[in-house]
Amino acid sequence: MPDTRYHLRDRPRRNRRTAALRGLMRETELSPAHLILPLFVTEGEDTRIPIGAMPGCYRLSLKHIVHLAREAYGLGVPAVALFPVLADSLKDKYATECKNPDGLLQRTVKALKDALPALAVITDVAMDPYSSDGHDGLVKDGEIVNDETVEILAEMAVAQAAAGADLVAPSDMMDGRVGKIREALDGNGFINTGILAYSAKYASAFYGPFREALDSAPRSGDKKTYQMDPANRREAIREVMLDVAEGADIVMVKPALAYLDVIADVAANVDLPVAAYQVSGEYAMIKAAAANGWLDEDRVVAETLTAIRRAGADMILTYFAIDYARRLH
């Protein structure tokens, strides 16, 4: 008999002894079916402009968007989230272009639904890509005014639904916008268009590369009067509960990796599906470290996405969606 001081009965390592056993014990599944690919669409016939701080990501013209969406779908990624890059000449204070039925975003949605009817298409509802002020809402005397913005957002959502979006995704953080958008969609007959609400979206430095991609940085001030303070956790529940009460179909936490506690809280508090957004800065950090040979990109991508799922996210928006799916195949 071994010395009883060393006679351990409980040995968790038994369950990790072989790959087969580890597979049986695995608590969290991560498949391409859980991923949503964000895409930046720009005008042009054959345009493909690299985004400096997001190596491997591009501003793409329609043809390339359809091509990439087809690849993603073929690899098992069921959805894309679209962000339009507009010329400054199309931007104004009221984001007027967002309602244009023949505008860039609306044309892209139609083209995707024609080419790939089974793909889920998600559109972003916020004024920043269309706004000469670069804010998600209407700026009046230096203030981002809430209620007038919500009226514009509701019209924007209806235009996107008319183009065929499966889900509209308000990323603006105005108060009451989910309720108004639901009302406007229903009032226009779009009862089946869902709302993916960016419910707990933080005022984060991790959005830097995205604002470069869209050239959408605020022309003055910051977004702290509408996006949440990164120090707050309970407030996320308040935001989420309001969106649930207003008719959201899915609630989202953004960014993801630095906010796993928030994802876990939200998942514990709602019955709705929970989404998380692995944002541009999270992507950039991994890419930069990998380019230096400091991290193994594939493993870090799988690990971070698994962690986000483990925290409670049902679905994840990630610029790595195709890379991850490709690696599995």
79 by DSSP, 3-state: which? strand
The secondary structure of residue 225, as a DSSP letter, is T
211 binds ligand PBG (CB under 6 A): yes
User: Any catalytic annotation for residue 63?
Assistant: no
Tell me the closest approach of the beta carbon of residue 7 to ligand PBG, in angstroms: 53
40 binds ligand PBG (CB under 6 A): no
Nearest to 189 by CA among 144, 228, 158: 158
Across the chain, how many H-helices and E-strands are there?
A: 11, 12
Nearest to 162 by CA among 101, 83, 81, 84: 101
Q: Of these, 97, 124, 133, 243, which contacts ligand PBG (CB under 6 A)?
A: 124
Q: Of these, 130, 210, 320, 324, which contacts ligand PBG (CB under 6 A)?
A: 210
Write out the binding residues for ligand PBG, residues 146-175 only, by CB under 6 A. Answer: 171-172
Report whether 84 contacts 62 (CB < 8 A).
no
User: Any catalytic annotation for residue 99?
Assistant: no
Which residue among 91, 201, 223, 287 is the active-site one?
201
136 binds ligand PBG (CB under 6 A): yes
Alpha helix (H) ranges present in 176-254?
177-187, 208-214, 234-246
Q: Residues in the chain, how many?
A: 329
237-264: b (≥16 Cβ within 10 Å) or e: bebbebbbebbbbbbbbbbbbebbebbb
Q: Binders of ligand PBG: how many residues, by CB under 6 A?
A: 12
Q: Closest CB to ligand PBG among 172 and 239? A: 172
128 binds ligand PBG (CB under 6 A): yes
Report whether 60 contacts 39 (CB < 8 A).
yes
Write out the binding residues for ligand PBG, residues 75-104 only, by CB under 6 A. Answer: none
Site track 234-273 with ligand PBG (rule: CB under 6 A), x = hit: ----------------------------------------
35 binds ligand PBG (CB under 6 A): no
Query: CA torsion, points 172, 175, 179, 183, in degrees to nearest 10?
Result: -70
Tell me the closest approach of the beta carbon of residue 173 to ligand PBG, in angstroms: 8
133 binds ligand PBG (CB under 6 A): no
Q: Known catalytic residues?
A: 201, 254
Which residues contact ligand PBG by CB under 6 A? 124, 126, 128, 136, 171-172, 207, 210-211, 223, 279-280
